[in-house]
Amino acid sequence: MTNAILSESDVATLVTELVGSSKQVVAPVRAGADWEHTEYARIERLEDAMIGGALPRHSLKEFFRPAQEERTPCAPQVVLGAPPCDAAGVERLDHVMAHDYHDELWAARRAATTIVTVACSGAERSCFCGAVGLGPDSTRGTDALLVPLDVAAGPPPSQRRTAEQLRHCVELFLLDTQPFPGAAELQRAAEPPRRPMRWAASAVTPKGEALLRGRGQPLNELDRARAGAFARVARESVASNLVALQLSRADGRLDADVEAQLAAADGGELVDPVTTTSARAAVERLPEWLARNFDHALWSPLAQRCRGCGNCASVCSTSPCFDVDQHDRSFARRPIREGPPPRRTQTERLRQRIMHKFSIYPRRFESVLCTGCGRCSRACQGGMNLPEILGQLVQLAAPEASGMPT
């Protein structure tokens, strides 16, 4: 499999070639005018993309399950610059889409798509991928992985304010329909200094191999070490999130035997920080506990502040539910909800959400139905927070004196 260094111009050439051969290229782009919001969109050139920026507002699922689609062969597409959690989300949905009913339209899009992820810096505060068996450089669902060798500088705090201001100007002037005086200056002020990027690229699947073959320069030892250092720092960052989110204790230790076994499996060194491993072990205990605690007293207080808006499911990269309408030649899918809901109260609905992700799915397909991207927490209008709920469940499910977070 190819291992290479790709410069920004290599990637730009790749995009141009793909677009030239009528492939659709999808990448995170800036949403509105500020730095903290991006979303996936079709790009024509690399300059349009914002690789390695904030987590896009919505997940990738809409590119495999669009709101409206025709029953015609789908165009080949390449996703460029998704964080690894979003690729993992697509992979987790694959199991659902091919379980009891084989969704042809999903499968066709999956077959026609190559996903190139960029390792994440793990710096988002509400992320917890480490607790659900993933990491900032994991390759589940990924065809090729790029690890940044030079970290792009984010905008300094003073410019964030400017960017925010700019966004309001754009909103005020009705979504860019009218240019306003000073817009160009503001835009430039919000722009951080550009620096050409380089990535260590590795193919994970034959599809990724086909995309990368013959591109870039060979990877040297120094750059290999830099890529390793990036991944290590990112994993530490996720681990500190897990402690801050109380999914793991700062001094969390594993059972000595387990630790030795894991270290042996990792070639003498624990790849993940201990806090991550400990949080993951705790989450892995949930399916069994949840199955026994359908009627636990906890569900009712947990659901109180839920406003029922469903934003958590809308933005979730692994929430598979949709409703289908058939028109003459096309299908329209929209997120959930038709007619009276099958579960009558908010408590039942919240319980189903947690059960589906952390009990029903894992008992069928082994991994949990969550990538720890944290979108649901950010989108929640009631201030609910999945890691917080998980933290409570993990404590309830912990066997006594296990060294799990208390």
Query: Quick one: tokens of 396?
Result: 């309830």
**Cα–Cα distance, 187 to 257 (Å, whole number):** 56
Nearer to other proteins, 226 or 296 (CB): 296
Q: Which is nearer to other proteins, 48 or 62 (CB)?
A: 62
Tell which positions 309-368 bind other proteins, by CB under 8 A: 309-311, 313-315, 323, 325, 327, 332-340, 344-347
Output the smallest distance, CB 176 to other proteins, in A. Answer: 10
Q: Which residue has the tokens 């990036």?
A: 230
Q: Tell me the β-bridge partners of 4.
A: 201, 218
176: left (phi over 0), alpha (psi -120 to 50) or beta: left
How many residues make up the chain in this entry? 406
Residues touching other proteins: how many (CB under 8 A)?
56
**Residue 392 identity (one-letter amino acid):** Q
Q: Considering only residues 15, 88, 97, 245, which one is a binding residue for other proteins as defined by CB under 8 A?
A: 245
Q: Which of 7, 187, 246, 392 binds other proteins (CB under 8 A)?
A: 246
Part of the chain binding other proteins (CB under 8 A), chosen from 21-29, 133-141, 306-314, 358-366: 306-314
* Cβ(97)–Cβ(142) below 8 Å: no
Nearer to other proteins, 126 or 139 (CB): 126
Q: Least Å distance between CB 37 and other proteins?
A: 9
- Report in angstroms how near the CB of residue 76 gets to other proteins at its nearest: 25
Check if the beta carbon of residue 142 is closer than 8 Å to that of residue 209.
no
Name the DSSP letter for residue 75.
Answer: P
- Shortest gap between Cβ of 207 and other proteins (angstroms)? 29
What does the per-residue mask of binding to other proteins show for 375-404, with x meaning CB under 8 A? ----x-xxxxx-xx----------------
Nearest distance, CB of residue 382 and other proteins, angstroms: 6
Query: Minimum distance from CB of 335 to other proteins (Å)?
Result: 5
The nearest distance, CB 400 to other proteins, in angstroms, is 25
One of 172, 184, 260, 291 touching other proteins (CB under 8 A): 172
Write the DSSP symbol of residue 381.
S
Of the candidates 45, 195, 213, 305, which one interacts with other proteins according to CB under 8 A?
Answer: 305
Closer residue to other proteins in complex, CB, 253/337 = 337
Beta bridge partners of 40: 28
How many angstroms separate the Cα of 296 from the Cα of each of 69, 80, 351, 401? 42, 43, 10, 22
Find the binder of other proteins among 255, 292, 308, 406 (CB under 8 A): 308
> With CB under 8 A as the contact rule, which of the stretches 14-22, 78-86, 151-159, 297-305 interacts with other proteins?
297-305
Using the rule CB under 8 A, which residue among 25, 33, 303, 373 binds other proteins? 303
Which of the residues 28 through 87 are near other proteins (CB under 8 A)? 57-58, 67-68
Can you tell me the distance from the alpha carbon of 146 to that of 8, in angstroms, rounded to the nearest whole number?
12
Helices (H), 1-71: 8-20
Select 332 or 398, whichever has its Cβ closest to other proteins: 332
Work out the widest C-alpha separation in the chain, in whole angstroms: 67
> How far apart (Å, rounded) are the C-alpha atoms in residues 47 and 30?
11
Q: Which residues, other chains included, contact 101 with Cβ-Cβ below 8 Å and sequence gap of 6+? A: none
What tokens appear for 371 in the block? Answer: 């990538």
| 181-240 residues near other proteins, rule: CB under 8 A | none
Interatomic CA distance for residues 255 and 403, integer angstroms: 8
Residue 93 CB, nearest approach to other proteins (Å): 17
DSSP one-letter string for 107-172: HHHHHTEEEEEE------TT--GGGGT--TT--TT-SEEEEESSPPPPPPHHHHHHHHHHHHHHHH
Residues forming the site for other proteins (CB under 8 A): 57-58, 67-68, 125-126, 164-165, 168, 171-175, 177-178, 244-246, 300-301, 303-305, 307-311, 313-315, 323, 325, 327, 332-340, 344-347, 379, 381-385, 387-388
